[in-house]
């Protein structure tokens, strides 16, 4: 198993004197991200180049390697401070024999020390509840840096930037219950206290983070409520895994190409049915296609997971129904006994196991059987695709300029019919077998 090389700390955002001053001035005593502790607080700021192009040959090199220097250096610094609940580097990990290369990890610490879910699992959209745990309650020492687009379209880094409360900064913080080395959280507009629901602006930010990283081993993931998100405060997760995820190796078949050059394909020969989005003439084209699809799923109360892969070039969208099956008593006791909640990482093929016996007995067949329970049926999946494509098409039409109402309606119907016909052809030709 390959390991990410550890790197020395580049800087520290822990301002000892400022923390002491804040404590002297009052506050809650936890140096948190709330009004009681934010006045005068500073954190590093990484400003990325907000280029609209997917690739740019004239792009200037950043002042240092983003992930290897800043993110990993700061993450290591928090390890030294003892801010994590356990040492994830001590967890046993192996690649399971088989064609897919599922990865198994024994992580007993995460099972015992992870925060419990505090909300309903049968509703994808739920209002933010400030009385429950949210990321404004974390200590400022858990925040690695602010992550924002540059005002002058050049990469810049400020080691001591004030926190602009009015602008509600997006921040990168450690996951105190990590799954892998470098496990962090991207929290868009943290002070707005947004519930766990994707919007266009937040997904574009996540996509920029993946692109800015330029590291194929660094992926971002998202879990909706009902798909094993455990905190109802908008966030993405990210970490390094120095091998391909099995889902990244699965074959796909193109369904359609939408406005902006975004190609949408169906995943084949994989236990969980899903869609892959790639291409696009601009970053925003790809981002809009995915976020429109996510918003559609949210509005229809369909739980889902998202994996941002290949340095932001590919995005996997995976509707799922495992929690629903659990509630209906349709999951076998054998699978329930593993206590594995299949969120984005597990669905992608990184199986985080909580019991030694499951780790020792891990096999491709067992991983496949668990993930097959996560997937929508073929019939339901095709219905969901039609719903998604209708939503995307309507969004594209509404953005079109120079069309009258009658023209919009006519084009809308033609596009949806064409997409629906394409989906049915794919469904007939390529049934995913479990």
Encode pLDDT of 5-45 as tens digits: 333 333 333 333 333 443 434 578 889 999 999 999 999 99
> What value, to the nearest 5°, has the Cα angle with vertex 159 and ends 154 and 161?
85
Q: How confident is the model at residue 110 (pLDDT cuts 50, 70, 90)?
A: low
Provide the percentage of residues in the chain whose pLDDT is more than 70.
78
Q: Does residue 162 sit in helix, strand or coil?
A: strand
Q: How confident is the model at residue 65 (pLDDT cuts 50, 70, 90)?
A: low
Q: What is the pLDDT of residues 139-173, one digit of tens each?
A: 999 999 999 998 887 888 899 999 999 999 999 99
DSSP E strand stretches across 141-217: 143-149, 156-162, 171-174, 184-187
Q: Is the pLDDT of residue 117 over 50?
A: yes
Domains and CATH numbers, the chain: 26-429 (3.30.428.70)
Backbone angles phi, psi at 144, to 5 degrees: -85, -45
Q: What is the mean pLDDT of residues 264-271?
A: 98
Q: 143-149 and 42-48 as β-strands: parallel, antiparallel, unpaired?
A: parallel
Q: Which two tokens stand for residue 406?
A: 């009658």
Task: Find residue 340's DSSP bridge partners.
Answer: none
Among the listed residues 233, 235, 350, 434, the single catalytic one is 235
Task: For residue 235, indicate whether it is catalytic.
Answer: yes
């Amino acid at each position: 198993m390959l390991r990410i090389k550890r790197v020395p700390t580049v800087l520290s955002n822990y301002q000892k004197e400022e923390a002491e001053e804040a404590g002297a001035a009052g506050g809650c005593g936890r140096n948190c991200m709330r009004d009681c502790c934010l006045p005068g607080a500073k954190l590093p700021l990484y400003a990325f180049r907000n280029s609209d192009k997917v690739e740019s040959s004239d792009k200037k090199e950043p002042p240092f390697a983003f992930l290897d220097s800043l993110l990993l250096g700061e993450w290591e610094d928090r390890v030294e401070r003892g801010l994590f609940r356990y040492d994830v580097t001590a967890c046993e990990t192996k690649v399971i024999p088989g064609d897919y290369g599922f990865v198994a990890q024994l992580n007993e610490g995460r099972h015992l020390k992870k925060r419990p879910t505090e909300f309903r699992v049968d509703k994808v959209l739920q209002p933010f509840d400030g009385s429950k745990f949210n990321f404004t309650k974390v200590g400022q020492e858990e925040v690695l840096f602010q992550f924002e687009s540059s005002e002058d379209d050049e990469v810049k880094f400020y080691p001591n930037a004030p926190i602009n409360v009015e602008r509600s900064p997006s921040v990168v913080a450690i996951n105190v219950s990590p799954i892998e080395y470098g496990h962090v959280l991207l929290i868009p507009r943290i002070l707005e206290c947004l519930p766990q629901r994707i919007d266009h602006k937040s997904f574009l930010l996540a996509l920029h983070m993946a692109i800015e990283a330029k590291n194929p081993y660094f992926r971002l993931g998202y879990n909706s409520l009902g798909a094993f998100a455990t905190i109802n405060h908008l966030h993405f997760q990210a970490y390094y895994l120095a091998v391909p995820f099995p889902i990244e190796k699965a074959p796909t078949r193109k369904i359609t190409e939408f406005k902006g050059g975004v190609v949408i394909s169906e995943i084949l020969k994989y236990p969980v049915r899903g869609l892959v989005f790639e291409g696009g003439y601009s970053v925003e084209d790809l981002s809009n296609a995915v976020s429109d699809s996510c918003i559609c799923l949210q509005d229809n109360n369909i739980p889902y997971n998202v994996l941002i892969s290949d340095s932001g070039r590919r995005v996997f969208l995976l509707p799922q129904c495992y929690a629903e099956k659990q509630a209906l008593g349709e999951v076998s006791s054998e699978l329930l006994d593993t206590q594995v909640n299949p969120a984005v990482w597990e669905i992608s093929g990184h199986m985080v196991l909580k019991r030694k016996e499951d780790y020792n007995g891990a096999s491709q067949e067992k991983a496949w059987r668990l993930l097959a329970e996560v997937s929508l049926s073929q019939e339901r999946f095709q219905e969901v695709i039609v719903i998604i494509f209708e939503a995307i098409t309507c969004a594209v039409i509404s953005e079109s300029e120079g069309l009258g109402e009658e023209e919009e309606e006519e084009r809308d119907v033609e596009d949806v019919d064409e997409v629906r016909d394409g989906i049915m052809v794919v469904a007939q030709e390529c049934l995913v077998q479990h």
